[in-house]
Amino acid sequence: MSSEQKLSLQEQQFMGKINAEEKIEPKDWMPEKYRKNLIRQISQHAHSEVIGMQPEGNFLTRAPSLRRKAILLSKIQDEAGHGLYLYSAAETLGISRDEMIEALQSGRAKYASIFNYPALTWADMGAIGWLVDGAAIVNQVSLQRTSYGPYSRGMIRICKEESFHQRQGYDIMLSLVNGTQEQKAMAQDALNRFYWPALMMFGPHDSESAHSAKSMEWKIKRETNDDLRQKFIDQTASQIEFLGLEHPDKELKWSEERGHYDSGEIDWEEFHSVIAGNGHCNRQRLEHHIKAHQEGAWVREALAAYNAKKQAKQAEAA
């Protein structure tokens, strides 16, 4: 048997598992492109959790009540934890966390573009939890069924905590709209600024999406960008109404025929510009990450030196 035929047999077995809805595990054979595609997606997801700590961390020290501060701390702590699970899931594919961080800092790896928008008022903490975490959950619920075992299990665990995040965001918005005129205006302003970028989180239209077709075939992705976005648009419309806020999409209209909301078009020029690195905070977010990493270099070196000394002592004693 030639090596080509052998490979195709492996490939057939791989596709057989995928089609039978069996999970692919780290030690299983997988096509190199499947591995690369997963590393790209999982590390991007991990980086998003980590970079996402910045806009919220920026408001921790100004949280308007101790209760809100405690909740926000706990949410950020969860996010850092999600970053860890996801880095570990990606590591099972044969890449190290250092390599992933290097790819992030050099701009080769992406993170969710939503974090390139600034968090300016307390209401933004509400909008981020409600809309950004809300959009993330729609995507992640679908990814619980992703074909790669460690990623799927990570998603199941993460989804449980994310729904608490979304509720806390919506709860901030509820307090604001039930408060003073100024608070309500703050809530409306945050909704206006975060609604469209939240829709962009689902990525380009299916027809434009570079990675979609193969990812769907391999069941890395289980639903298309546009389908997921539609779910989010539908669920958010009634939430906005309940808050008594004005919907930022003036063209939004219920379609009896489709059983979904029809909506206005996303500003794709803005989408591409932010992805290309030209958003409000792209540079700031990366510079922040690099600075913290560089400032921590001596700590990591000290840790390594201490552990080496300790090992040497143990070896001597043995």
In the complex, what is the shortest distance from the CB of residue 176 to another protein, in angstroms, rounded to a whole number? 8
CA dihedral 190, 191, 192, 195 (to 10 degrees): 120
Name the segment binding another protein (CB under 8 A); options: 32-40, 130-138, 152-160, 303-311: 303-311
Taking the complex as a whole, how short is the minimal distance between the CB of residue 59 and another protein, in angstroms?
Answer: 9
Q: Give Cα 137 distance to the centre of its chain.
A: 9
Nearer to another protein, 38 or 71 (CB): 71
Assess 29 for contact with another protein (CB under 8 A). no
The whole-angstrom separation of Cα 316 and Cα 226 is 62
84 binds another protein (CB under 8 A): yes
Q: Which is nearer to another protein, 164 or 196 (CB)?
A: 164
Counted residue by residue, the chain has a size of 318
The DSSP call for residue 208 is G
Q: By CB under 8 A, which span of 10-18, 109-117, 155-163, 293-301 interacts with another protein?
A: 293-301
Does position 314 interact with another protein (CB under 8 A)? The reply is no
The answer to the question of residue 112 lying near another protein (CB under 8 A) is no
Q: Which residues contact 121 (CB under 8 A, 6 or more apart)?
A: 186, 189, 190
The answer to whether 298 contacts another protein (rule: CB under 8 A) is yes
Given candidates 23, 31, 35, 60, which one binds another protein under the rule CB under 8 A? 60
Determine, following the binding rule CB under 8 A, whether residue 170 of this chain makes contact with another protein: no
Q: What's the DSSP call for residue 118?
A: -
Q: Check binding of 73 to another protein (CB under 8 A).
A: yes
Coil, helix or strand at residue 261: strand
| Burial label, 203 (beta-carbon count in 10 A; 0-12, 13-18, 19+) | buried
Nearest to 221 by CA among 197, 196, 202: 202
CB-CB neighbours of 231 under 10 Å: 18
Q: At 166, list the tokens.
A: 């979304």
The answer to whether 309 contacts another protein (rule: CB under 8 A) is yes
Does position 302 bind another protein by CB under 8 A?
A: yes
Our CA angle for 201, 206, 211, nearest 5°, is 80
Q: How far is the CB of 65 from another protein (least distance, A)?
A: 5
Interaction between residue 76 and another protein (CB under 8 A): yes
72 and 60 in contact (C-beta within 8 Å)?
Answer: yes
221 binds another protein per the rule CB under 8 A: no
> What character string, x for contact with another protein (CB under 8 A) and - otherwise, covers 119-158?
---x------------------------------------
Asked if residue 300 binds another protein (CB under 8 A), the reply is yes
Does residue 292 bind another protein (CB under 8 A)? Answer: yes
- Helices 282-295, 297-317: inter-axial angle, 10-degree rounding: 30
Q: Work out which of 299, 315, 317, 318 binds another protein, going by CB under 8 A.
A: 299
Listed ranges 49-57, 138-146, 201-209, 226-234: which one lies at the site for another protein (CB under 8 A) = 49-57
Contact 75, 129 (CB under 8 A): yes
- Using CB atoms within 10 A of its CB, is residue 149 exposed (0-12), middle (13-18) or buried (19+)? middle
297 in contact with another protein (CB under 8 A): yes
| Cβ neighbours around 308 below 10 Å, total | 10
Q: Which residues bind another protein (CB under 8 A)?
A: 50, 53-54, 57, 60-70, 73-74, 76-77, 80-81, 83-84, 87, 122, 172, 175-176, 178-180, 182-183, 288, 292-293, 295-303, 305-307, 309
